């Protein structure tokens, strides 16, 4: 079992390629209002959670809500792939803006697992090469997360690891 101890107020980034199980993990481990999902915000701003042309607007809205939550002292989880350094830079900057701890939970599942899930899904329309690209970006990122500013980094490498996480909150 992997134990993750979170301060009651922190900014959690779930990091992982599409299909790694971020949304499923978030649903199991956090309250609904705590999780800001890029897919949900794409849906809100455009009516289509897959609309890549809505990404900019979706993140603007997501960050607006994240700021409102952190200002109120509420733990916030960002459910987006965040496999690119640039995306993570925004998360760390946001945490610093509110003087809260940026926490990374990385879902680094084997590529064949991601591909099998992708093939079984009807809700994702990009090609499988997108997942390979994300996996490559994630692997390059793994050693850099602490230096980027994430203070707690947990890397989960299998579906079993993901399911066996126990999160506790500390004051
Ligand atoms: P994106 O939203 O595309 O970035 O994916 P995600 O990382 O949020 O993954 P999500 O939780 O949406 O799960 C992707 C697919 O994998 C869904 O069809 C889930 O039902 C499935 N899935 C998630 N976790 C597991 C698991 O532990 N086992 C199996 N078999 N399938 C899972």
Is the confidence at residue 126, as pLDDT, over 90? Answer: no
Please state the separation of Cα 135 from the chain's center in Å: 14
Q: Are 28 and 34 in contact (CB under 8 A)?
A: no
Question: What's the 32 CA to ligand 1 centre distance in angstroms?
Answer: 17
The tokens describing 39, both together, are 């897919």
Quote the percentage of the chain above a pLDDT of 70.
Answer: 100
On whether ipTM exceeds 0.90, the answer is yes
Please state the separation of Cα 167 from the chain's center in Å: 16
pTM score, whole prediction: 0.96
Question: What's the 160 CA to ligand 1 centre distance in angstroms?
Answer: 13
Q: What residue owns the CA closest to ligand 1's atom 4?
A: 18
DSSP state of 134: H
């Amino acid at each position: 079992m992997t134990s993750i101890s979170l301060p009651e107020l922190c900014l959690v980034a779930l990091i992982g390629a599409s299909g790694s199980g971020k949304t499923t993990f978030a649903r199991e481990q956090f309250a609904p209002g705590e999780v800001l999902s890029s897919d949900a915000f794409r849906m809100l701003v455009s009516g289509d959670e897959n609309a890549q042309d809505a990404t900019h607007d979706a993140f603007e809205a997501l960050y607006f809500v994240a700021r409102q939550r952190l200002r109120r002292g509420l733990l916030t989880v960002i459910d987006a792939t965040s496999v690119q350094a640039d995306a993570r830079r925004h998360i760390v900057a946001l945490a610093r803006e509110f003087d809260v701890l940026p926490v990374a939970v990385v879902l680094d599942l084997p590529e064949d697992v991601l591909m099998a899930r992708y093939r079984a899904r009807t809700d994702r329309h990009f090609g499988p090469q997108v997942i390979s690209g994300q996996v490559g970006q994630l692997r390059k990122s793994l050693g850099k997360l602490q230096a980027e500013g994430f203070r707690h980094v947990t890397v989960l490498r299998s579906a079993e690891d993901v399911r066996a996480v126990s999160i506790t909150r500390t004051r």
